[in-house]
Amino acid sequence: MKKKEKISKKAEMPEFSFKEFTEDEGRIYEVAVSKFRAAIAAGKTLRQAYESYAIEDKELEKLIQADFLKILIAEQHFGQNQDLDDIAKTLDVSINLIKETHARMLQEVGVTAASQFGEKFNGIIPKTND
């Protein structure tokens, strides 16, 4: 029984909901990411970059900060082939944070791709043995 439970838990795809920004939130997002980029380019740590630009809406701030880390990982790891350990050192964050964020990014991409495939083929989801 336990084996079946593990298999079914593994097969379940996590649910993600991506926030759709209002026009004002979009402007705040763009400014924040620009400020964070400038701070990182100036040699600041990730924490210092986040502290360099405060956002009044704390929930939006958390979302933008999480997205910004994903942007950095995408650009540096996938775009420039930098090792995750090196990214963690440069940003002065734990390797666990980088690895967890990286894993989350891959999950989001997989779920999004599967969803788009399902929509394109009218809900037909292929069966696989993996």
At 68-82, the pLDDT tens digits run 999 999 999 988 889
- Give the mean pLDDT of 120-127: 61
Q: Note whether residue 7 is domain-resident.
A: no
pLDDT of residue 5: 44
Q: How many folded domains does the chain comprise?
A: 1
Beta strands in the chain (DSSP E): none
pLDDT of residue 129: 54
Q: Note whether residue 88 is domain-resident.
A: yes
Taking only the tens place, the pLDDT of each residue in 7-48 is 444 445 455 556 788 999 999 999 999 999 999 999 999 999
Q: Note whether residue 4 is domain-resident.
A: no
Taking only the tens place, the pLDDT of each residue in 102-116 is 998 888 877 777 667
Measured between alpha carbons, how far is 43 from 90 in angstroms, rounded to an integer? Answer: 9
Q: Which residue has the higher pLDDT, 44 or 2?
A: 44
C-alpha triplet 90, 44, 48: angle, nearest 5°: 110
Q: Does residue 88 register a pLDDT over 90? A: yes
> 4 falls in which pLDDT band (50, 70, 90)?
very low
Which range marks the domain in which residue 41 is found? 22-120
pLDDT of residue 11: 45
CB contact burial 8-36 (16+ within 10 A = b; e otherwise): eeeeeeeeeeeeeeeeebeebbeebbebb
Q: Using alpha carbons, list the distances in angstroms from residue 126 to 3, 32, 103, 123.
A: 23, 40, 23, 10
pLDDT of residue 20: 84
Instruction: Output the six-digit token pair for 108.
Output: 């989001």
